[in-house]
Structure formats: C-alpha cells, structure tokens
Amino acid sequence: MKYLTPAQVGEMLSLSPKTISAIALRDASMPAPRIGRTLRFEEQALNRWLLSKTPRSARAKNLAASNEAQS
C-alpha cells in the first residue's frame, strides 16, 4: 500500500494541499484516514473514490435531459 500526503494529492489534482485537506474534512466519503495528526491518502482507494465522482459537466447534462423529459 502506498500512502500519499495532501501535497502529493494536490499536485495530482492541481489543487493546493489546504484545499485537499478541506475537502477531506468536509466529505466523509473521501478515503483520508489520519495517521497520528496527519492526513494520508491510500493511493488505490483514492483513485477508486475519484472514479466514483461524477464530473460536473455530466451532472449538468443529466439535469438538462431530465428537465426536457419533464416538459
């Protein structure tokens, strides 16, 4: 198992480590256990979590299709 720091995850996603930490604290579904007082991210679990997230563009398309179907 390989664990990543918030800085490494931030680099992967082009976000700051502070933003990654804030997301982890806000979203309980994000696999981010604490080891001591430090957040760590198990690489494979994080990749599965990222794949499970629906991109905003897909949500917008689904919403628009749903609204058209109701009309």
Write out the H or E segment, with its range, that includes residue 34.
strand 34-35
* pLDDT confidence of residue 24: 92
The more confident residue out of 64 and 37 is 37
Q: Where are the domains of the chain?
A: 3-70
Short-list 19, 9, 15, 18, CA closest to 49: 9
Does the reported pTM lie above 0.75? Answer: no
The more confident residue out of 14 and 64 is 14
The pLDDT tens digits of the residues spanning 1-23 come to 899 999 999 999 999 999 999 99
Cβ(42)–Cβ(31) below 8 Å: yes
